[in-house]
C-alpha cells in the first residue's frame, strides 16, 4: 500500500479517531462548563423578596413617616402630563401619607405650572431648579466634539440620542441628582415621571417598609437596554469593578451571560460591545428607572460616586448615550446584596406603552374600609395568587412586555425560575 493511499485512509478515518483531538475537545467542553458555572445563580435557601403586603391595609394616616420625598423632573410645557401623574399618585397613595413632592426643572418655573400642580395635590410642594453646572457638558469636555457626536447618534437613529438635553438628563440622574441642595435633607426618594399612571391602591408606606426590611432599591419593571445606546458602558463598569477588586455578587452574576467560547479564544470577544475584558457579556437587563424608590445614601456613598466619576471622565454620557437606568442597574447589581433590592410586584404602574398590573388578592380588598371606599369603591376581579389592592387594571394580563429580564434580575432572590428564562439565556 502506497504512502499516499495510507494517508488518504487516515484522513478518511476521520479526525474523530484521533485521541488527541478527542482529549482537546473534552478539555474545551469541561473548561467552558466550569467557566459558565462561575456565573450560576444558585436558588436562595428561602424567598428573599416577598411583597411587603399581599392585600389591602388600613392606611396609617397618622403613623410615623420616613425622611422622604416624591421627586419629579419636568418642564413647564409638561404641566398637564405632570398633573396627571401627581393626581394618580395622590389618588392611589399620597392622599393618606402626604409626602412632600419636589419638582425639578433646568429652567425657571412658570406661574402657570406652579399654580396647576399646587391645585392637583394637597401634599407639600417645592419647585426647585437644577444647578446650571449639573445640566451641561463637563468643564473638561470638548463641547463641539460632543455636539458632533450627538448629531451623529441622532442621524444613526439611536433612541433619543440626537437630543442634547437628553444626554444632560441621563448624566444628571446618574450622578449629581443625589447631591443637589434641594434633596440634601432627604434620605429616601420616589422618582415620578410626567404622564405615568398608578392602577392599584398603595395602602402602606413603601418608604417605611423599605427601611424596615433594610432595602436600598425598589423597582416595578425591568427591560432590555437599547443596544446601540451604550456599547462601551459594561466594559467601563466591569473594568472599574476589577480595578477596585469588588467580588461578584449573585446580582452581578444575574446580569452576566457567560461566554461559551473556550479559552484562550474567549478574551477575543472583549473587542465586541457589551463585553468585559474576559469576553463575557452583559445581558442588557436593567431596572426601568422612571420608577424607583431608593435610599439616597446609597447613591451618595463613596463607592457609587467613585464609579460615577470614572464613568463621567470616560465621556460616554455624550459620545454615546448612556442611560441612567443602565448605570443605576449595573451599580446596584455590583454594590448591593440581593436581599437589598425589592420588586414592587403589588404596584400597578404604567409609563409610555409598558405596564405592570398585579391581580387583586382574593379576600384582601377590605370592602368594609370607609377610608378606602372614600377613595375607590370598585375594582377589578380578584384572582387567586394576586397581591394587588383594589387594582382597576385587568390582572389577567400581568404585564405587556417580555418577562425575561424580570426573572433574570429576580433570580438571586427567588427559587421561582421559569424554564424559558434558562433557555433564553443561550439566545441572548
Of residues 292, 337, 368, 382, which has the active-site annotation? Answer: 292
Contact 292, 328 (CB under 8 A): yes
Enumerate helices (H) and strands (E) in the chain, giving the number of each. 17, 14
Q: Which three cell numbers, joined as nine digits, stand for 420? A: 424559558
3-state percent helix, strand, coil for the chain, nearest multiple of 5 = 45, 15, 45
Contact 374, 385 (CB under 8 A): no
How many CB atoms sit inside 10 A of residue 295's CB? 23
Contact 348, 198 (CB under 8 A): yes
Q: Which three cell numbers, joined as nine digits, stand for 237? A: 463598569
Q: Would you call 224 helix, strand, or coil by DSSP? A: strand
Contact 198, 88 (CB under 8 A): yes
77 included as an active-site residue: no
Contact 82, 74 (CB under 8 A): yes
Q: Which of 191, 169, 177, 281 is nearest to 233 (CA)?
A: 281
How many CB atoms sit inside 10 A of residue 382's CB? 17
Catalytic residues: 292
Amino acid at each position: 500500500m502506497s504512502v499516499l493511499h495510507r494517508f488518504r485512509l487516515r484522513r478518511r478515518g476521520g479526525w474523530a479517531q484521533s485521541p488527541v483531538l478527542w482529549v482537546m475537545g473534552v478539555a474545551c467542553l469541561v473548561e467552558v462548563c466550569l467557566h459558565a458555572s462561575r456565573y450560576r445563580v444558585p436558588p436562595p435557601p428561602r424567598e428573599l423578596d416577598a411583597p411587603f403586603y399581599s392585600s389591602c391595609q388600613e392606611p396609617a394616616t397618622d403613623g410615623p413617616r420616613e425622611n422622604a420625598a416624591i421627586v419629579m423632573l419636568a418642564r413647564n410645557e409638561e404641566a398637564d402630563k405632570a398633573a396627571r401623574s401627581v393626581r394618580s399618585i395622590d389618588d392611589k397613595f399620597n392622599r393618606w401619607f402626604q409626602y412632600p413632592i419636589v419638582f425639578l426643572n433646568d429652567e425657571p418655573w412658570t406661574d402657570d405650572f406652579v399654580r396647576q400642580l399646587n391645585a392637583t395635590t394637597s401634599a407639600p410642594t417645592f419647585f426647585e431648579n437644577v444647578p446650571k453646572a449639573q445640566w451641561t457638558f463637563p468643564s473638561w469636555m470638548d463641547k463641539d466634539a460632543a455636539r458632533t457626536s450627538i448629531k451623529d447618534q441622532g442621524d444613526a437613529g439611536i433612541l433619543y440620542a440626537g437630543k442634547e438635553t437628553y444626554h444632560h438628563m441621563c448624566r444628571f440622574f446618574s450622578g449629581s441628582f443625589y447631591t443637589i441642595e434641594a434633596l440634601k435633607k432627604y434620605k429616601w426618594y420616589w422618582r415620578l415621571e410626567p404622564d405615568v399612571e398608578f392602577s392599584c391602591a398603595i395602602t402602606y408606606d413603601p418608604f417605611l417598609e423599605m427601611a424596615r426590611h433594610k432595602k436600598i432599591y425598589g423597582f416595578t419593571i425591568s427591560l432590555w437596554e437599547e443596544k446601540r445606546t451604550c456599547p462601551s458602558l459594561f466594559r467601563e463598569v466591569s473594568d472599574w469593578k476589577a480595578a477596585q477588586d469588588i467580588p461578584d455578587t449573585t446580582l452581578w452574576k444575574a446580569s452576566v451571560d457567560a461566554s461559551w467560547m473556550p479559552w484562550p479564544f474567549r478574551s477575543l470577544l472583549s473587542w465586541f460591545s457589551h463585553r468585559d475584558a474576559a469576553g463575557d457579556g452583559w445581558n442588557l437587563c436593567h431596572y426601568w428607572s422612571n420608577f424607583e424608590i431608593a435610599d439616597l445614601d446609597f447613591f451618595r456613598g463613596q463607592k457609587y460616586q467613585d464609579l460615577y466619576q470614572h464613568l463621567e471622565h470616560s465621556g460616554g454620557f455624550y459620545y454615546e448615550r448612556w442611560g441612567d437606568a443602565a448605570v443605576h442597574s449595573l451599580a446596584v447589581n455590583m454594590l448591593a446584596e440581593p436581599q437589598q433590592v425589592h420588586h414592587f410586584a403589588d404596584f400597578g404602574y404604567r409609563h409610555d406603552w409598558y405596564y405592570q398590573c398585579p391581580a387583586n388578592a382574593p379576600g384582601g380588598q377590605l370592602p368594609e374600609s370607609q377610608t378606602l371606599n372614600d377613595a375607590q369603591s370598585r375594582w377589578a376581579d380578584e384572582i387567586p395568587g394576586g397581591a394587588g389592592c383594589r387594582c382597576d387594571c385587568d390582572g389577567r394580563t400581568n404585564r405587556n412586555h417580555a418577562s425575561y429580564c424580570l426573572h433574570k434580575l429576580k433570580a438571586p432572590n427567588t427559587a421561582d425560575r421559569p424554564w424559558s428564562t434558562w433557555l433564553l439565556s443561550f439566545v441572548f
